[in-house]
Structure 1
Amino acid sequence: MRLHVKKEVSGMRRSLVPIIVLIVVVPMLIIASMVILLVFGGSSLNLPRLGNKVALVRIEGVIVSGKAGSGIFGGGYAGSERVIKALEQVRRDPFIKAVVVRINSPGGSAAASQEIYQEVLRVRKSGRKVVASMGDVAASGGYYVASAADEIYADPASLTGSIGVLIETTDLHVLLDRLGVRFDTVKSGEHKDMGTFSRPLTDKERQILQRLINDVYDQFLADVQRGRKLPREYVRGLADGRVFTGRQAKAYKLVDELGGLEDALKAAARDAGIKGDFEVVEYEPRGLWGRLLGGTEALSQDYQTSRALMELARGLLLHEVSDVR
């Protein structure tokens, strides 16, 4: 009886051996083979060698602070936290030689655009070449970010520019009066309720907001000048809020080359000294499992909010009635 049990256990152990080999050894051999092929034999198999990689980071939708998300009407947003984390991943990846930042955005938050602009500069300082690629729209804050790149590509019909700052308030006091609605406000200071919809702005409040706008506008100009290496007054002459096509922007030195995403990727690889085939790695911040298993998630499609569209419309109207002096 004891001998019979011993035989069963021994047989069970023997039956587990091929399972262990299948689960542990075979995957390890496959991974090792892939690494060897990529490092030593990539060129003979038309595969990109390890290190011949160009990162792709997308900025799609209205630029906002925080994480990306969707609005109540389905509009997409490019959260500064998400974009910055993706760019940080690029800086930490030793095999990434260049980066293409694909921008499809009408702009958005000035502070969020500044944060992304600064992170793009940090990527450049890490030794990577950065190329900005404009989609349908890369205006206002979208152009702010693009100006930090080493080189900017735009399609001839892309809409860009709209360099400027805007604050809008809503005054509903006439409508509220007709409805018989009254507001009683208790505040700690004279201007604490500045911008409320229950009353119009005072002249003093307009001056306060104008000074605020002028300060942010000067920061915008300084960063565009820094990124594009153009004279300050030249940039100021273009920065009246008007919108340009990609072709017009190239003539005004706001972009470097005309071309699509594929052209920008090839230019980034070329500028980084990559010869032959290269791999495009699309970066999106991932959790632990995403980092372990690899792969990336598609980013949201291009959406535009009504305010951003209104700003672009204003720029187009300005372009119709004025020329650069």
Structure 2
Amino acid sequence: MNQRRWVALAIAVGLLLFSGITQRVNNQAQEEQLTGINELLYGSNDLEKTVVEEGNSNQQILKLSVEGTIADSGSSSLFSSDTYDHQLFLEELEAAVSDPEIKGILLEVNSPGGGVYESAEIAKKMAAIKEAGIPVYVSMKQMAASGGYYISAAADKIFASEETVTGSIGVIMSGTNYAGLFEKLGIEDTTVKSGALKDIGSSTREPTEADKEVLQAYVDSAFGRFVKVVAKGRQMPEETVRKLADGRIYDGAQAKENGLVDEIGFPEDALAALKTEQDLSQAQVVSYQVSSTGFASSWLGVKLAEAQGLKLSESSRLVNLVESLGTPESPKPLYYYGGE
């Protein structure tokens, strides 16, 4: 190759690099511009404090809530609704740990439980809060069963009303088997697999004894972790917890008799106790909310956000929720009251 061709090649490579850099800069500028427009329309994803009850702003009690099934349905915190938003709740817990003004937390729980993994994520964040020396009081409302109890067990104090459905300590992995129906219809399972247990939990063939043993061992392992969480949080021997943890539910009065809750009361009673017992009588009560505009909650704002992929449609949220809890074809272990 002569010198002229080398020069031409160098120029071509230089133009290609310049074009790539220019395109990247333009794309970044467009993304920043779009982000700015979206923040103007909808607000930001930043957590902001809202004062619930006036008091000393240097000494705050944070009100948090778990309302609904504990599952990561993929909803966006910018468009969070009254249903449970897992990622938003984790963000709130992280923010509380690093906020020097937060001196106590009141967690209101109204949940039948949910995913094993999601419950463990919350428990890890709650442990970090306790390590930071922030007292946590839990008020169980209509229901705090299975995973709802799992995330509450480590609290400094647990309140429940006499009517609160609690307990259901255990693990469930639900599935549906169509093998008998397929046989009647003349449908044959032709699955090809690398090992006898590769299609364990299949809905198209009868489960073998080996299948049952493996799945039971898997569930028992998750159950053992649940028992340890309750035993540590409630300062009970594991043997005592196992006697209570046959999956049954308790009302609040029964739960108190069995040492699963500390006091009978409602959220306002838990808040009053937190103030009195933790020397926070003058504390300001606050909650977190995501910064948003009125447009974000309007019909046009919601539809535009769905079109941009910033908000999941209700059908998409439902699909994500079902998948996060498992399907008959792919069952998952759950800390959940009532099956799937």
Matches within 5 A, 1:164-179: 164-179=170-185
Q: Deviations over 1:103-124 (max 9, x none)?
A: 1111111121111112111111
Matches within 5 A, 1:83-162: 83-162=89-168
Distance 2:266 2:64 in 1: 15
Match of 1:52 in 2: 59
Matches within 5 A, 1:1-325: 47-65=54-72, 67-68=74-75, 78-276=84-282, 278-284=283-289, 286=290, 312=337
CA RMSD of aligned residues (A): 2.9
Secondary structure at 2:64 match in 1: strand
Q: Deviations over 1:222-246 (max 9, x none)?
A: 1110111011111111010010001
* Contact 1:158 1:246 (8 Å CA) reproduced: yes
* Contact 1:121 1:149 (8 Å CA) reproduced: no
Q: Deviations over 1:290-315 (max 9, x none)?
A: 9xxxxxxxxxxxxx9999xxx7469x
Q: Deviations over 1:130-175 (max 9, x none)?
A: 0111011100011000001111010110000001111122101222
Which AA in structure 2 matches 1:153? Answer: F
Match of 2:304 in 1: none
Which AA in structure 1 matches 2:56? Answer: R
Q: What runs of 5+ residues in structure 2 fail to find an aligned partner?
A: 1-50, 294-320, 327-335
Distance 1:47 1:239 in 2: 41
* Contact 2:90 2:122 (8 Å CA) reproduced: yes
1:272 is displaced (CA, Å) by 2.9
Q: TM-score, normalised by structure 2?
A: 0.66
Which AA in structure 2 matches 1:164? Answer: G
Which AA in structure 2 matches 1:150? Answer: D
Distance 1:223 1:183 in 2: 41
Higher RCO (C-alpha 8 Å, min separation 6) = 2
1:200 is displaced (CA, Å) by 1.9
Structure 1 residues 256, 51: closer, same or farther in 2, change over 3 A? same
Structure 1 residues 231, 209: closer, same or farther in 2, change over 3 A? same
Identity %: 35
Considering only CA atoms, is the larger Rg found in Structure 1 or Structure 2? 1
- Name whichever structure is richer in strand by fraction: 2
